[in-house]
Structures are given as C-alpha cells and as structure tokens.
Amino acid sequence: MAVIGKMKLDTGWLAARSTEIDLTGVQLTTTHPPSAPNSPWMEAVIPGTVLATLVKNKLVADPFYGLENESIIDIADSGREFYTFWFFTTFQCKLSAHQHVDLNFQAINYSAEMYLNGHKRVLPKGMFRRHSVDVTDILHPDGENLLAVLVHPSDHPGRIPAEGGQGGDHEIGKDVAAQYVEGWDWMAPIRDRNTGIWDEVSLSVTGPVKVVDPHLVSSFFDNYERSYLHTTIELVNRSDWLADCSLNIQVTAELDGSICLIEHLQTQHVSVPAGASVQYTFPELLFYKPNLWWPNGMGKQSLYNVGISVDVEGHGESDCWSHHFGFRKIESHIDSKTGGRLFEVNGQPVYIRGGNWILSDGLLRLSKKRYETDIKFHAEMNFNMMRCWGGGLTERPDFYHYCDIYGLLVWQEFWITGDCDGRGIPISNPDGPLDHELFLLCARDSIKLLRNHPSLALWVGGNEQVPPEDINNVLKNELELHPYFESSKKYGDLSPLMKDPSQYLDGTRIYIQGSLWDGFANGKGDFTDGPYEIQNPEDFFKEDYYNYGFNPEVGSVGMPVAATIRATMPPEGWQIPFFKKLADGYIEEVPNPIWEYHKYIPYSKPSLVHDQILLYGTPKDLDEFCVRAQLVNYIQYRALLEGWTSRMWSKYTGVLIWKTQNPWTGLRGQFYDHLLDQTAGFFGCRCAAEPVHVQLNLATYFIEVINTTSDELSDVAIEASVWDLEGTCTYHEVSENLSIPCKRTVPIFEMTYPKSENPEPVYFLLLKLYSKSDYRVISRNFYWLHLPGGDYQLLEPYRNKKVALKITSQVSISGSNYKIQICVQNTSKKPEASGLLYENNPYEPSVGGSKERQDVGLVRRIYRHFLREADGLRVAELSGTDIGVAFFMYLSVHTSDKDWRVGEDTRILPVHYSDNYFSLVPGEMMSVCLCFEAPSGVTPRVMLHGWNYEVGHTIY
C-alpha cells in the first residue's frame, strides 16, 4: 500500500510530437500505451522542455553550439503544433482505505491536458502556477497507472524580427511566461519558447486530511534574544465525515551530522468539517537566543527544520510536511544620505554586492546539482544578493534552498519587462499580459511556494517597468507588510489584537513596484541603470561615475577561456576580432559572425575607452586573445566592486552586476561560462567583495581598508610593496597600529611610487593587511599597473622570464569527490632576513579550513606540514633562472592522458577554487584548495598555466 508522503515521477518518461501520434489520450492511457522509446517516441527530459528532449535524442543540433540555433525551425515558422508534444510515463500506486493521492505538476509551460487511465483533466494556462489534481478515484485497481500529458506552447510565441531585439516582437508579453525566450541582447531566441514540463512531477499520498501551504514567520524582541515562530496552515478534509485531528509541530536543530536537537514539540487539536477547508494558526513558539540566519559574509546561515504532521482520529497519520527555516528579520528603507535602498538583516545594515541572475539553463534542464554549483559560485565570489530578473523565471525551490544554505539574499521579480510591457521599441503590450487574473493567480501561487525561504528578501513588480495599475495595486495590497515588519515601527511585543503575521500572504517582505523605483537607480523609473560596456578601470572610483545610491544593473565584458570557445564553436569561431583603427585613434573590434551571434561585447568603446586587450600588445591567436581577456576581466570587475565599495554608505548602498552568468554559451556579462568554468573576473570579484579588504583607489592612489563587518578591526597593519620587472622591490611602506571601525571605508595613505623620481612604466603592487598579533594575512591584493597614459606592452617580453616554482600538493578522496590542497611558492629569490617586515608571510584565501591558529598563523602551519616527507605529498618543481614575479598563474583540472581522446575538451568541470589567477612575488607562497567531482573511471590531473608558464605544467 502507498506510504504517506511524496514520490517524485522524474524517470521513465517518453515524448513524441503530437502530429505524429494518431491516438487519443484515452487510447494512450488504456489500450495503446507506448512501451519503449521507438520512433516517434523518444526518451524525454523531465524537468525540461521539448527542445531539451529533441537535443538529447540528437534530432536537432545543440542550439548553443556555434550557429546551430539557426538550423532549428522557430515556432513562428513551424506553427505551435510542431512543438506541441505528448509526454508519457507509468507509475505504481495502490491506495488503502481512506487514502487519497494528488498528482502534482510544479510547473508546465504553457497549458496541458492530462490523461490518467483514460480519464482527462485540464491543466490550465500559466507558466508559473502549480497544478495539483486529485486522482484518487481514477487510479487503476491493480496499482499500474498510465499517464499521458499533452503540452501546448504559449498562446503568443511571437516572431523574431530580422534585427533581433529585446524580447523579439514582444508578443510573448501577452502571456504569463518567461519573456527572454524571444531573444535579448545577451541571448539567442529559444525555438520552442520553453514548451514543456519544466519542474518537478510528483504524487502526494495523504489520509482524509491534507496540509496545504504552511506559512512560517519569525518575530524578534529584546534585541533578538527572544523570538517567536508563527505558523499558519490550511487543512483540507476530503472525507464525508467530521475529522478530529491532532496537529503536531516539531522544530529541530542539527547539531553535528545526523544528530538533531528537538527545540520544540507541540500538539494541538482541531476538528475539520466534512469536505471543508479551514485555516489554522498554531500558538506561537518561543525561542530564547535562537541561532540566526545571516547573509553571506555576515555570519552563519543557521537553519532549523520545521515538521508538521496531522493525525486523524481512527485513521492515524494523514499528512506530513517539512521545511527548513531560518530565524532572521529583513528590513529596508530609502537611505536619506544616499537616496539608495538600504537593507538591514537582524538589525545590521548590509552593503549589497551581488549580481543579476537570468536562469541556470535556457532549455530548463534544471537540477539540484547544477543549482548548488551556481549558488555556491556566487557565495565564493563573496556576493550577498542575487536579483532574479523579470524576463526570466520565478526561481524554483531548489534554487532558494541553496541560497538559504549559502547566504544569498534574493530579489525576486514578477514577469514584467519594460521591453515587452510598454517601454520597448516598438511599444507593445502597454497593459501587460492579456489575462490579469491569471497573472495574479500565478503571483499568489509563487508567493506561497517560496515565502518560507529565509533568503527571499523582496518582491519586485517588474524589470524597468511597473505592472499594469490594477495588477500593481493588488500586489501592493496583498503584499502589505504586517505592522511589525514596517521598519519605521518598533514593538516591545506583538499586540494580541494584531493579526498573526503568518496569516498574511507574506507580510514580512517589502514589495517594490519596479526595478528603477523607490531607492533603486534614480527611484523614479527613468532608465538610470547601466552602463553595460567596457570601462576605464579608474572611472569606477570617480565621484561623477554614477549619481544614485543603488545601481540594480551595471555590466561589462565576459570572454571565457579559449578551451570554452573551442568546445562550443567550430574552427571558424576561433578567429579573433579584427582590430579596426578609427580616425580618432580608437579601436573598433570586428568579431567573427559566430561571436556576434553569441552577443560578444568588445573590449573597446570607441571615443571613450581604448582597447583593453591591445594594452598588452596585439594577440596573434585565440589563446593569446583569451589570456589577455582574462587579465582585463580581472581588472575590470575588481575595479567595479572596489570603486563602489570605496564609497560605501557615503554615496552608495549597493550594486548588482549585470550579469553573473549566461543560460547559454554567450560571450558577455558572465563570471563563469555555461560549461561552468570561471573567468578571471570571478576571482576579481571574489577579491574585491571580501568582507574585510585592502585596496588601491585607482583615482586617488590612496590605499583604503574596507570593513563591511559588524566588528571593529583593531591592531592591524598594511604593507605595500612595488616590484619591477626584474624582481626588485623598489618601494615599500608599512602602516601599523591601525584600527578600522565597523562598516566603514578608511583611506590610510597615498601610494606615491608613481610620483617617485624614476618610476618604471609597468610595475606590480602587492598590498597585504595583517593582524599584528600573529602576522596573519587578513586580506591580500595584487595589482599590475602602468603609469598614466601608458600600457602593459612591456609584459609581453616578460613572458619569456622563467621564474622557478615549488608546488606541493596533498589530496583527499571520498568516492569520486576530490579535495586537493596545493601550496605554490615562488623560489626565484629567498626573502632577506634584514629585509621586509611582513613581505613574504604565506597567504591562504579565506575559504574553509581549520580555525585553529598557532603563533605564526594558519598557513605557516600548513606549509610546515607540506614540507614533511610523509602523508603522500607530491612535490613538483618548475625550474627557472630568472628572478621576478610569477605572474597571473591559474590552475585547471583535466582528465589524465590515458583518458583523453583527440578533439575532446579535457577539462573536468566544475571545480571550486579557493583562489585562481594569482601572482606571487619572489619568495612568496600561497595555498589554494581545489574541490571537484571526477567522472567515473577518470583519473584527474591538475595543470598550472601562467604568463610565464604558457605551455602548462602537470603539477598533480
């Protein structure tokens, strides 16, 4: 008999084009079911789309490879029937007396008819709504059940104009669906417009009474020492008799691994009339000093598990539900000093540094594994917010689950964009989607689906547009804050006369009508976000660069590494741009047609920004171009975040970069590519956004310390050293006995080397922030710089320098998961005993690791461990006779030579690096941790490349 709970139906699905099936849904689920993936039936991708299924079965080319998307017929030309598909599966389910079962579709695009054992049910329109169908009475008596679903595309899939454009011809805006599918300036059109069953399908078995959409809310008093958990649930009695129920709520905290502490256990009794649905609010649960949930960089992401069950007298357990929950309070207001929206979590202001998110994959091949990588990457960049852009998705519970775990606040928009909803060229759909009630139904359902996640920070009506007036008014009213969550009001306790906050639709998060309103950009809806092209790095630091307190979109370049270009494009796509010199001396880059199709952003901006690639000399091939692009990516994005943080709270309250990744093989606005390999911009962001950071203001050349934490930084020192291309330290300055207040940016001293008598035209600057008590490196920042008006072309002959390295590595393996700790030392020159005070202390990026500390610091202990001749350590030495900086080194993981096949991309992806694209001055060492999963049967090898190590060396 069926067990109470949920069972996913995520395997064994078949699919076929509806025009190739002469059978009805009744026949498919009674007398003529398909039994195998024989044409026209094929294996289906669930969750996924029709196009994902066709790609999996090699019936169309990969639309993300080269220009192959142009070979796939667009729905505007084929007609909607061409992408109308049957999906079929079977499942076992046999109920006992008084049990019920619902068949659940968490999301379908766009509408469907469902047939189960010959019975038809309609799944109405709307991409962002759940469907739950009581199929108790139509299950087959023997437990063998046949399910067929006929899925129809959007009603208004639109047509793609020859010139492309933002959202094609904007017709998709008439539906309640993702709008990016008609193409954007960063995305090619999706030919089936994402038709399919694109989220989880499941069965839910219950007894007579089921639990629907519990709402969990926390409130705080006495400076967060006292907290209450508020819980409201809906109970549905599907029997024809009064159900006397025992409701149980249990709250547990994980102590260590599988050990859990029960914090609360409460039972309440309620009777639910026959066939009725009732709302029930539990008595609030008191918690004293609960572990709080904090955003990334501010503290731990403490999570409790809340379990709710209902027992029906005479029938035992009837239903159960569980969800993790974080105790936290999010508030925001418009800052009077900056005009930007200022967010607070648990009473502490949060300086927002994050990015815009579209979706994980343009064919909606969504998975928990991919989501975890995506979200962990954002946390590793030290970001604390992700904006789910209005032309994309209401993100899935799995997305929010990992944002909860890794501490990413989420700005979630509804499905409105200025381009498709009244502000595009040409203007279209000024009244938004045709069916306003459908929009609101989907909005309410999405809110109920996601509202229990602590990472969800705010709701926003749309991208660069507000919803139509009637929709906007309803959202304002229904997302009204409970009085307790209005930031201007403070309560000693909740009044018993107040409605319980868990009885609201949400009540805890602010609703903002659009991304350019109410503390974002100029706050009035004018197009005052951006820019989106390459910038002069020093401009980010200038007073007049951006005039408003919070920029929701600012973007730039995003060229991946050469291996990704070769993996995603045919050889004609390996041609680098032509550098066309204009009359005013600026360069116009002319990319090849494949790069242009993949939305390449040039590294020059004629009349404003000289070509940043050519600052290093003219590249001769793809490899040289991509390495130079990584140099620019690192500088560009580090400068963007450092420039914004330089004016933290004095001018800005936050910034979101447009954008962090691409849902396809695009060539703009990304910190990692669609294959999950990071660009150097990833690590530039990671450096710039660390909670405590030392940096060079590129406009004033003052060295600044950023402290975004809630604790004062005391008894610290800064060391600044300049190194020339011969490996000589030509400038050295130390500032000691410093104290840096919490949540402040403090300029310390001017770096005067460029004003010295004979400064080198190209030089390296190393900044280190130390704890004086143990010489521990708190922050390290390495720059390569040229004098004003100069360039980096002297770095080209510097590539010929052979700088010696010693690399020590140690691996731990658990199944197919590898963790490799690698210590790299520049051995070209030993540190002089009478020389620099702090210069060559080892550095380990602050990701994971032991908290234990000896008097010389964590990394020295690790390094001493590495020097021992035991524990299976591997040592690799790269010989060299030159003294100098080992410049711009980067690690990558590949299959071993014996596993390699000609023409294959040998990279193992993804890899989580504690740092990459790093440089070491003479005598300096750094520890880097790599974590990855190796494919079954594959032996991994780690390679090191660098400016001075072009060929690449296997070091593990």
CB 357 within 8 A of CB 388: yes
Separation of CA 416 from chain center: 21
Asked about 553 being catalytic, the answer comes back as yes
DSSP string, 782-843: EEEEE-TT--STTHHHHTT--B-EEEEEEEEEETTEEEEEEEEEE-SSPPPTTS-SSTT--B
CA dist 504 and 452 (Å) reads 12
Say if residues 331 and 344 touch (Cβ distance below 8 Å): yes
CA dist 203 and 208 (Å) reads: 16
* Active site annotation includes 464: yes
Distance of CA 456 to the CA centre of its chain: 13
Q: Using the 8-state DSSP alphabet, how is residue 524 labeled?
A: B
Catalytic residue, candidates 395, 553, 624, 719: 553
Identify whether the C-beta of residue 345 lies closer than 8 Å to the C-beta of residue 328: yes
Who contacts 869 (Cβ-Cβ below 8 Å, separation ≥6)?
none
- Span between the terminal Cα atoms of the chain, in Å: 53
CB 686 within 8 A of CB 381: yes
Is residue 111 helix, strand or coil? strand
Task: Write the burial class of residue 262 (CB in 10 Å: 0-12 exposed, 13-18 middle, 19+ buried).
Answer: exposed
**3-state per-residue secondary structure call for 896-924:** CHHHCCCCCCCECCCEEECCCCEEECCCC
Tell me how far apart the alpha carbons of residues 611 and 609 are, in angstroms, rounded to a whole number: 6
The 3-state secondary structure of 575-644 reads: CCCEEEECCCCCEEEECCHHHHHCCCCCCCECCCECCCCHHHCCCCCHHHHHHHHHHHHHHHHHHHHHHH
Would you say 694 and 703 are in contact if contact means Cβ atoms under 8 Å apart? yes
Contact indicator for 721, 922 with CB cutoff of 8 Å: no
As given in the structure block, the two tokens for residue 201 are: 């399908």
Rounded to 5 degrees, φ, ψ at 492 are -80, -30
Q: CA 5, CA 211: separation in Å to the nearest integer?
A: 11
Exposed (0-12), middle (13-18) or buried (19+): which is 799, by Cβ within 10 Å?
middle
Angle, vertex CA 894, rays to CA 403 and CA 563, nearest 5 = 80
Residue 838 and residue 857: Cα distance in Å, rounded? Answer: 13
Among 464, 624, 642, 690, which one carries the catalytic annotation? 464
Phi then psi for residue 369, to 5 deg, are -65, -45
Judge whether 259 and 221 are in contact, CB under 8 Å: no
How many H helices and E strands in the chain?
13, 48
Catalytic site residues? 464, 553
